Amino acid sequence: MNPVASELSIFSGNANRQLAIEICQHLGISLGKADVFQFSNENIFVKINENVRGNDVFVVQPFSSPVNRSIMELLIMVDALKRASASQVTAVIPYYAYGRTDKKDQPRVPITARLIADCITVAGAHRVVTMDMHAGQIQGFFNIPVDELTAQTIQADYFASKQLPDLTVVSTDEGFAKNARKLADRLNAPLAIVEKRRLGNEGVTEAMGIIGNVAGRVALIVDDEIDTAGSITQAVRLVCEQGAREVYCCATHGVFSGPAIERLHAAPIRELVVTNSIPAPDIKLLPNLTTLSVAGLFAGAISRIHDGRSVSELFY
């Protein structure tokens, strides 16, 4: 047991309350009582409705749509818990938005991922738990401990159970190739990589070709997130042009913004697999969508942090 905090408490904002409830079910505790709502003037109000003095508190809040409101809810909840004398406050952020703005790659642009990290720290969080960040270096933006979980073990187990023959794992770009290689190794499958370039600042990309062989094989296209679905649907088109006989797609975070649903509907995808890090859309919108739960993964991490054990135990 953590010698500082005598009791474990879990709270949630409005971004993904169902995930927080599932995490609590795994841990055998009840979700903490709190009022979190927005006034008509768009100011956010938080009130913690139970005693947390001396507790080890975890706040579950992905930065999902509406993103900026989700961020503010988390910051205000952390501040409220700190002022309520919680011993430790850990921000559990299953999906970390603004992850693409992790460096100054153009003149006069911000590093918003660092700004958000600073805000979380200043609000009073003692620790951050997140999952499959867009860029690993974001961990270094924090001056507090960061545990980055991965859904890859859950994804690998799911696809291994399907026993897909002649499987090739396909990375949507060179930047994700290292992570895709790890999944390919877990599935004992070869790796192919889509060559891609980004055009401008509007999230538009152009797929140029494939490194590797997918002809006559089952292609499993993987990425960390599906936002507008431009990258992944271009990858689907390319592997089909190269002779893949069947296509599966997999990502940790299903953002599905803008034209994503329409694009995914039109693409010849046998099955699309994401996790519940972000609330999934209505299955009627995407009938080929499968959502894997990461509640057990986060519950395991929270339990280990609370008990002072290694979080890396989850992956070995």
270 belongs to an annotated ligand binding site: no
Distance spanning both ends of the chain, measured CA to CA: 22
Residue of 170, 160, 208, 216 lying closest to 190 (CA atoms): 170
Q: Cα–chain-centroid distance for residue 38?
A: 25
41 belongs to an annotated ligand binding site: yes
Q: In sequence order, which residues have a C-beta less than 8 Å from that of residue 297 and are 6 or more positions away?
A: 131, 149, 151, 153, 154, 314
42 belongs to an annotated ligand binding site: yes
Give the distance between the most distant pair of CA atoms in the chain.
Answer: 61
Decide if 90 contacts 126 (C-beta within 8 A). yes
Q: What's at 262, amino acid-wise? A: E
225 belongs to an annotated ligand binding site: no
Residue of 131, 152, 149, 148 lying closest to 139 (CA atoms): 148
Decide if 277 contacts 251 (C-beta within 8 A). no
231 belongs to an annotated ligand binding site: yes
173 belongs to an annotated ligand binding site: yes
227 belongs to an annotated ligand binding site: yes
124 belongs to an annotated ligand binding site: no
102 belongs to an annotated ligand binding site: no
β-sheet bridge partners, residue 248: 220, 271
209 belongs to an annotated ligand binding site: no
| Residue given tokens 């990461």 in the structure block | 294
Which residues participate in catalysis according to the annotation? 196
Q: Which residues are annotated as a binding site?
A: 41-43, 134, 173, 198, 223, 227-231
Q: Which residues are annotated as a binding site for Mg(2+)?
A: 134, 173
Q: Which residues are annotated as a binding site for ATP?
A: 41-43
Q: Which residues are annotated as a binding site for D-ribose 5-phosphate?
A: 198, 223, 227-231
